[in-house]
Structure 1
Amino acid sequence: MPRGVWDTTALTQSANARTLLLADFSGTCAGGFDDGTNLAHSVFKTVSSTSVNRTMSIVISGQTLNNEVLLTDYALNRAQTGEFTWSVPFQLADGTVPTWS
């Protein structure tokens, strides 16, 4: 959840002054191809034809991070060694600050 920094140093200051900007949330999910019911392919194959927010929940050690995201691509790749993988980039959609609960 990176935040940008704005350099606000005035001419009268002798050290840097900065202000934190808005939080963001982005990343990429990736995995091996699986076309079973409710698995990656059946969920992500509509990314290119729909432009709706999706709820993403990340759960780690009993902590949950829920976000509304936009999925921007569903890329499939067959490696020369035979692996068939997918990747789905996502970005924060609704302006709500990501917060662990």
Structure 2
Amino acid sequence: MDDASGTPRAIKNDITNLQFATPRGVQDITGIDKSAYERLLLLADMSVTLNGVFNDASNMSHDVFKTVTSTSVARTTTLTVSGQTLAGELLYTDYPLTRADSGELTWAVPGVLADGTVPTWA
């Protein structure tokens, strides 16, 4: 994941779980002569929510995300699963911190596709 200056940072140790999606829009083009839907695929998208634990060490998660609310930069985000990678330029829209009553400090950072490039697995 890039920080606000575009420098890649390995913060995978701070991430406890994530959710990502790469949906496509669809347009209903069903004519009145049909008994089932006809559709066209439209634009591609990508979204991600990273969840993790607060770590204020240099170049770790807090260093990367603390500028989300004050900068408007796209950040290269790369997910790697079993040697396969999915990279995208994402805009992160929030950096909410949660302190549970048991004391842990966690975050959940949502991101959305920024640049119109279709995310593809490599």
Output the TM-score relative to the length of structure 2.
Answer: 0.79
SS, match of residue 43 in structure 1? helix
Out of 51, 54, 75, the residue aligned to residue 33 of structure 1 is 54
Displaced runs of 4 or more, over 4 A: none
- In structure 2, the residue matched to 1:42 is 63
Letter in 1 for 2:100: A
Q: How many residues align?
A: 101
Letter in 2 for 1:69: L
Task: Show CA shifts across 1:48-98 (max 9, x none).
Answer: 110011100111111111100001001111011211101110000001000
- In structure 1, the residue matched to 2:109 is 88
Q: Mind listing any 5+ residue stretches in structure 1 that lack a counterpart?
A: none
Matched, 1:22 2:43: yes
User: How far apart are residue 14 of structure 1 and its match?
Assistant: 2.6
| Bigger radius of gyration | 1
Q: Distance in 1 between matches of 2:79 and 2:60?
A: 16
- In structure 1, the residue matched to 2:19 is none
User: How far apart are residue 13 of structure 1 and its match?
Assistant: 2.1
- In structure 1, the residue matched to 2:119 is 98
- In structure 1, the residue matched to 2:93 is 72
